[in-house]
Amino acid sequence: MASMALVCLTMSWLAFQAAGKLRANEWLKAELVVGGEETTLVLAGVRDGYLYIVEESEDLRNWSERDRFYGEAGDSLVERPLGLFDEGFIRLRLVEILPVPEDFARIPAGAFLMGSPTNELGRSEDETQREVTLTNEFYLSKTEVTWSDWTAVRDWGLSHGYEGLAIGKNGREGDESGMHPVTEVSRSNAVKWCNARSERDGRTPVYYTSENFSSDNVLRSGSPTPFADWSADGYRLPTEAEWEYACRAETTTAFYTGGITHADSSPLDSNLDLAGWYGGNSENATHPVRSKLAKAFGLFDMHGNVREWCWDWYCPYEGNAVDPKGPETGEIRVFRGGSWGEGASECRAANRDGFSPTPATDNYGFRIALNSTP
């Protein structure tokens, strides 16, 4: 899997002039070969288990990515054409590939019909079906983030430069187990929490305060509109398309346990009762995660318990799409899945809605995603 932690060539990142030898560690030998219109990076000793990132800069402060690749066999020789360098600097970063945490499920790449058929009970006009292709596999947490998990990362974050992370709540009147989904945390808080867990686990954060994805701009405080580095290996919110694709798990019905039979909370919808907690069976409360039937991908509570934040700004669908991430701007962010207090129609796989990213209530939570290496 493509999870990564920073491994430096020496004690810190190094910058190298765009001609001549590159200093390296004890097993990697690097050299820049400059000739005519082409500069080639030659590496000997490339090993698997690492991502190799070549970055360039004109001032040693602002860096942009020039090339990246994954290592293969040990002691292998790799030549990477980099184009023309007139002047400036490059640096080489080695990023170790970490194992996937056990509480994540692999979601394969694929295509699906996003939205609902016109005859589905409880559907809304914003669910017009479209074909969506996800070209890369990814990983999704098997459960919604629990209050116990939230608290552990929050405590770490507050002692490592993070500010404004809410204390949250153990669901809605949750028990002492701490295994209810965390609630009363805003989407803005969820994004910062993702970064805090990434840094705690040695991963590269996804969310930044500007399009310059440097360590100085990691989103750690306030509630600005985040910029996402989609190539980073850190934790993030799933896109709306990733969420629905994972929820469906190759099914086409309203719930992964079958079709919808009743749109409201009463009478009980037997298919939804198997999959999640909603207004018809929750007794107006959250419940510990993993207490309903898992889906084919090994995910729990995709229907009900708490609403789950996604990355996208809310907007109407705009036809078929490949790896969609929503518009660049908007007013409200998408949430999915329904909650403990809603009817069956709000918990369908296709149901979608939006809300401001800053309020915190007792029916919103989230789950997190990880990228995968090729």
Question: pLDDT digit of tens for each residue in the chain (374 aa)?
Answer: 333 222 233 223 344 444 444 555 667 888 888 777 788 888 888 888 888 888 888 888 888 888 888 887 766 888 899 887 766 788 888 878 889 999 999 999 999 999 999 999 999 999 999 999 999 999 999 999 999 999 999 999 999 999 999 999 999 987 888 999 999 999 999 999 999 999 999 999 999 999 999 889 999 999 999 999 999 999 999 999 999 999 999 999 999 999 999 999 999 999 999 999 999 999 999 999 999 999 889 999 999 999 999 999 999 999 999 999 999 999 999 999 999 999 999 999 999 999 999 999 999 999 999 999 75
Q: How many Å apart are CA 165 and CA 189, to the nearest integer? A: 6
pLDDT at 374: 57
Q: Where are the domains of the chain?
A: 3-98, 104-371
Nearest to 93 by CA among 215, 218, 268, 243: 215
Predicted local confidence at residue 25, as pLDDT:
60
Position 13 scores a pLDDT of 37
How many angstroms separate the CA atoms of 67 and 53, rounded? 6
Distance CA 247, CA 251 (A): 9
Instruction: Please give the CATH superfamily to which domain 104-371 belongs.
Output: paralog of FGE (formylglycine-generating enzyme) (3.90.1580.10)
Q: Which residues are 32's β-sheet partners?
A: 20, 41
Distance CA 146, CA 150 (A): 6
Q: Could you tell me the CA-to-CA distances from 294 to 105, 183, 246, 306 in Å, in that order?
A: 11, 21, 12, 16
Instruction: State whether CATH 2.60.40 applies to domain 3-98.
Output: yes
Residue appearing with tokens 């009980």: 268
Amino acid in position 322? V
Q: What is the pLDDT of residue 2?
A: 32
Three-class DSSP labels, the chain: CCEEEEECCCCCCCCEECCEEECCCCCCEEEEEEECCEEEEEEEEECCCEEEEEEEECCCCCCEEEEEEECCCCCEEEEEEEECCCCCEEEEEEEEEECCCCCEEEECCEEEEECCCCCCCCCCHHHCCEEEEECCCEEEECCCCEHHHHHHHHHHHHCCCCCCCCCCEECCCCCCCCCCEEECCCHHHHHHHHHHHHHHCCCCCCEECCCCCCHHHECCCCCCCCEECCCCCCCECCCHHHHHHHHHCCCCCCECCECCCCCCCCCCCHHHHHHCCCCCCCCCCCCCCCCCCCCCCCCCCCCCCCEEEEEEECCCCCCCEECCCCCCCCCCEEEECCCCCCCHHHHCCCCEEEECCCCCCCCEECCCEEECCC
* Joined tokens for residue 293: 């039937």
Check: pTM over 0.85? Answer yes or no.
no
Q: Per the structure block, which two tokens stand in for 121?
A: 């009970």
